[in-house]
Amino acid sequence: MATVTRFEELEAWQTAREITKRIYALSKQSLFSRDFGLRDQMRRAAVSILSNIAEGFESRTQLMFIEYFGRAKASAGELRAQMYVALDSGYVEQSSFQEIKLLIEKCSRQISRLMSYLESLPDNRRLRDEMTEYKVELE
């Protein structure tokens, strides 16, 4: 088990960052870039995954930590659903769709494992203090 001291070290955050980069690149292309509603909503959902993981890690209590991770997981589900809209609208090829969908599913599983780990800990009201280290299992 590794000790994680910064959210950037979490594999779920790293995966979410990769998803965000891919969504931004994909949504810059031709017709997709002109569908402002879908493009912006997908970008917001991708950024939400990334941001909620970071916010959860930096939160003060175990309950808040889990809550933010739940929000990140929900945003992953939202983004996965929006990928189907992009596919059905002809904005993304099947191969790109499948690749990004699998990456989103991977991130969702990583978040679920982090949540399970946190839920297995004793229920401490105050989880974070300065220089607190978390021991989480990395893939």
The confidence band for 122, taking pLDDT boundaries of 50, 70 and 90, is confident
Residue 55: closest CA among 47, 117, 85? 47
**pLDDT computed for residue 62 by the predictor:** 87
Q: What is the pLDDT of residue 121?
A: 84
Measured in whole angstroms, the distance separating CA 3 from the mean position of its chain's CA atoms is 20
pLDDT digits (tens, 9 = 90+) for 20-38: 999 999 999 989 999 999 9
| Strand-pair partners of 135 | 3
29: left (phi over 0), alpha (psi -120 to 50) or beta: beta
pLDDT for residue 133: 59
Would the pTM of this model clear 0.85, i.e. be above it? yes
Domains of the chain: 10-121 (1.20.1440.60)
In the predicted model, is pLDDT for residue 116 greater than 90?
yes
C-alpha span between 108 and 36 (Å, rounded): 26
